[in-house]
Structure 1
């Protein structure tokens, strides 16, 4: 019963730790490791494994190893699914240098640091140096989403973080088999043959599996509901076969398989990616909890100052030197190279590989290598140290180098009709990053002439979404005339925006009875208020309503605003004093307050409360009144504008 409780606690703690990281902004893997170490204070997985195997510690290790290996395979497969070949046009040269020359320099630097700082023998130092070559894609990904550096830097780090993992794992295997097991200096010919065979097996099985699965899915040999599990099963099978033929070549196989699938053009893989992302999140949580629970705090304390010295050497000496030397003459400028040199956290692959080798050396009593019992502990110390340092320093470093988006409050808007352009213009004037997309070139041209950043593209096109520059943009508003297109656009953009930041105009047919209505689950967060459909807002604008930005103060409150413009005024959003944006929705109605600037669509004729005279000349507003206005269209002007926009953009 205790083992059952432990098995149930692992995923529960894994999810809880990642939720806590999301709420606090701390790196998730750091929180996971802390939860795992805390669990290890009360229960030890090794004790359960020994109990299951009747005291046979070797059998317990043999049981843990395949579970860890298969979990890492799933994580690497999902990583491969995120790599687009098109990104290499910007980052290909730099990424290649980092995973070849940079990896070799890191290996040498890590080994030297481990030898002189930890006083390890050269054999064990070389093994630890190879393990620490890998960075952490599971850590780099969340950090990149948090920091939001330039697209070229983000692409370079993502490719390095994923591709370097199988390279580092293979390098560690070569060191383990050629140096530790043979107790001799490796022969160049033997190493080259092993490396070549591993690469051939990994590449051949990965490409073959990708071609086979592509043909099976494009010819409809597999039903849709089995696509995800079929891809997962094939990845695990190929991983096991590949590892059987060449040790650790399985990581190459699953990475290549993922890259193949995500870059083929015959069918959509987003539903497969979604399954793998959910599974990866669960597995990362479980792995770090289990592996973290095996770490003994007393062992970490026994390493002491040398362990801290190793972390500092890796962060401030080895990583910068390997990056600057490998990127000499690369397209990246000095600021970009400096940020890359300042981001190399170790993650799940380093933890898993070190644990596997530690388990292997425990079962080999003939090795007798001093310090081998500290291999996994040192690796976990490096993971904790690098995640903590880079997690706290990445954001300030990116801002100092002027590589980070200072805000994610910007808005991507699908649709570019006249009233949408007016709304976007008010946001732009409020220093909110804006991007309009529409397939109607006439509307996009008008937006550009008004100074609004706009692209004539189809937001439903996957390749277009990948190429859009979304720096500083964290929200998506679907505001086209077509409800179905709005819903589809939101569903397609879920991979890039959190569901809480997906908005659309309320459905015209939402409340229809029978089969003509559209169901609530197809919608994002509904904008502005009940009944404010595209048709309603467009008609108000055509009748002369205009957009107005109004600063609320203690002397001019929201009640004063309503007294002037009436309840018919449509409050769309509010700009907060900290430059953030609060959007008015049906599920969370906006309650404007002093200090905010509200953007609203108001009638051309204010409510007759004594303020009407003040707006007699809208191009010269009363300087004592805290409002910003644009010259308001007359009904005839609005009709003319509408006529020029007559081509509805139903496919954006």
Structure 2
């Protein structure tokens, strides 16, 4: 391919990938669907994109490296504290569940699709993985209660290297004729993959942490340095044992995310931006490689029946076997069984092994990719359209969740969080200040250490039971951007921010960006902090006592039917005697700052 053509197709790939994700964001659709459709249009339908000619021999090394970066970022989104109650369930899903999924999918491929036994087993192994890049946005949208979110997040990321290893074992067995030799190869491969993946992953992660902690790497090189380390560890691991690199990078991500020696937040923000580009290019490239006749296979009745088998039979059976004796309710088990979309790892593994089989002259190689893409498309469509309805019918998705995500963890914000928690509502504090977070955790509060305006925050924060965001950091821009960032998750009516100082109102931050202004006029961060430093405290009062207490600033109202209302001066909540008020008391009021007479008269009925 001429350089000009390669440059044009490369630019087209990036432009279409980002545009497809933007359209998906605007329409609130899973981006994977638009990316796959885009790839099919520019590939087999129109022939605008010639991926094999453009990339040449670098195609699958690029695909493998990109998947490694995505899994590393996925590993960095996992928190060990989220799995304390559900670790056994996740373990069973990525072991027993994988075997059940593999066997049933292989049987379905053999009987329904007419594939030979070898390709059926390989297709089954390829499809045991789920897609965290699809699951996590769905969970953020549905916000299911209970333990299902942490189970699905952990399963979606941990199962990816497990599935890749299983696919490798099956692939190697295809070319083995002696049973005893095949068993020996499988055992040796499995042990070496686990040992090499774990050892290199843990070692490289800890070395990287120490280099950064001791400032042996300047901050301006840490993003690029982390990318270098991830790709280097992935390649080194694969050099010693094929496909062990995915386990290595996943372990690296988990280790780095669950330590307190160094804050990788800026690295995470860089990786998430890179992930957007990688996902876009990968899905379009891989789907564009399909042949026109493959599209007929995807839409055939046998394929649709195969997809239905995976959704209706395989997944529920794998989940119910894996959760026996787990203590999970039947509703939680049903919802988990109805959430297993496939994603980029399945597409990548299928494409890589299909090429290897084609090079070896295997007649079934051309069928592996179209059937994999059929399952990806089918599962994403079904789960994205129905999982929210299923969660509501099971009572796992609250129609009006009352929990609050507090952005900022200053000491007075922690006092607010403690009062909200004492009232029986879920509350989480998010801050980039590690000292604030550690102090909040010591008080028994749920926390998130990181920037909420990053895409990673939407992936990492469990929004189950959360209905509102209240931004109360010292930075007005962060408050506004946090409210804007979570608008899709909570809705514009449920994002709030502290009043902006006069200089921020005059310039710098558009009034069209951000959430509803909190509390009363002049309740900026500086005002709240000053009052707290002068002795103000956050207290819960009865409505009657609140009405008769001087020098008090209302913050939240707790109703008798267990609803939490945020106090906004432009639309103050209705009050009844049996209600309670979370308020700032003992205010050091002055005429220049705030006086109680500026409060509207409460309605006592």
Instruction: Indicate the TM-score class for this superposition, using the shorter chain for normalisation.
Output: 0.7 to 0.9
Structure 2 unaligned regions, length at least 5: 450-460, 531-535, 537-553, 557-562, 590-605
Contact 1:10–1:289 (CA under 8 A) maintained in structure 2: yes
Instruction: Write out per-residue CA displacement over residues 125-149 of structure 1, whole angstroms, 9 at most, x where no aligned residue.
Output: 1111100111111111111112111
Determine if the alignment matches structure 1 residue 181 to structure 2 residue 175: yes
1:204–1:495 CA distance, 2 compared to 1 (3 A) = farther
Given candidates 6, 21, 32, the residue that maps to 2:35 is 32
Matched, 1:373 2:376: no
| TM-score normalized by the length of structure 1 | 0.72
Residue 72 of structure 1 deviates from its aligned partner by: 0.5
Give the distance between the partners of 2:110 and 2:145, measured in 1 at CA.
37
Inter-partner Cα distance in structure 1 for 2:478 and 2:106: 52
- d(CA) in 2 for partners of 1:582, 1:453: 13
- CA deviations on 1:433-492 (whole Å, 9 max, x unpaired) are xxx983348x955x789x58486978641763249985443542235xxx7277677889
1:311 aligns with 2:307: yes
Question: Could you tell me which residue of structure 2 aligns to residue 337 of structure 1?
Answer: 333
- C-alpha distance in 2, partners of 1:438/1:227? 32
Aligned to 1:477, the other structure's residue is in SS state strand
TM-score by length of 2: 0.77
Q: Is the 8 A contact 2:143 2:466 kept in 1?
A: no
1:461 maps to 2:437 = yes
**SS of residue paired to 2:470:** strand
Structure 2 equivalent of residue 438 of structure 1: 413
CA deviations on 1:68-112 (whole Å, 9 max, x unpaired) are 111101111100000111111122111000001111111111111
Equivalent of residue 73 in structure 2, options 71, 75, 78 = 78
Choose 1 or 2 for highest CA Rg.
1
Give the conservation status (yes or no) of the 8 Å contact 1:44–1:293: no
Shift of 1:641: 7.7
Deviation at 1:281, TM superposition (A): 1.4
Q: Is the 8 A contact 2:426 2:466 kept in 1?
A: no
1:383 to 1:257, Cα distance in 2 relative to 1, 3 A:
same
Contact 1:117 1:310 in 2 (8 A): yes
The total of aligned residue pairs comes to 529
Paired residues of 2:480 and 2:514 also in contact (CA < 8 A): no
Report the CA distance between 1:3 and its aligned residue.
2.5
Aligned partner (choices 394, 400, 408) of residue 387 of structure 2: 394
Matched with 2:9 is 6
The residue that corresponds to 1:615 in the other structure is: none
Q: 1:42 aligns with which of 38, 41, 46?
A: 46
| Cα deviation, residue 224, structure 1 | 1.7
Q: Does 1:19 align with 2:14?
A: no
- Residue 17 of structure 1 and its aligned partner are, at CA, apart by 1.5
d(CA) in 2 for partners of 1:583, 1:10? 48
Shift in Å, 1:187: 3.2
Say what the alpha-carbon RMSD is for the aligned residues: 4.2
| 1:222 CA displacement | 1.1
User: Alpha-carbon deviations, 1:135-194, whole Å to 9, x = none?
Assistant: 11111111111211125101001111101110100110111112x222454633321111
CA contact (8 A) 2:20 2:31 kept: yes
Q: Determine which of 398, 402, 405 is the counterpart of 2:398.
A: 405
Is the alpha carbon distance of 1:456 and 1:492 closer, same or farther for their aligned partners in structure 2, counting shifts above 3 Å? closer
Q: Say if 1:512 and 1:345 are closer, same or farther in 2 by CA, change over 3 A.
A: closer
Whole-angstrom CA distance in 2 between matches of 1:456 and 1:121: 52
- Whether 1:534 aligns to 2:516 is no
- CA distance in 2 between partners of 1:177 and 1:496 (Å): 46
1:45–1:525 distance in 2 versus 1, CA, 3 Å: closer
Alignment map for 1:478-493 (pairs within 5 Å): 478-479=471-472, 484=474
C-alpha distance in structure 2 between counterparts of 1:471 and 1:17, whole Å:
28
Alignment map for 1:504-515 (pairs within 5 Å): 504-508=497-501, 510=503
Aligned equivalents of 1:393 and 1:454: distance in 2? 26
1:226-258 per-position Cα deviation (integer Å, ceiling 9, x unaligned): 222211110001101111110100000000000
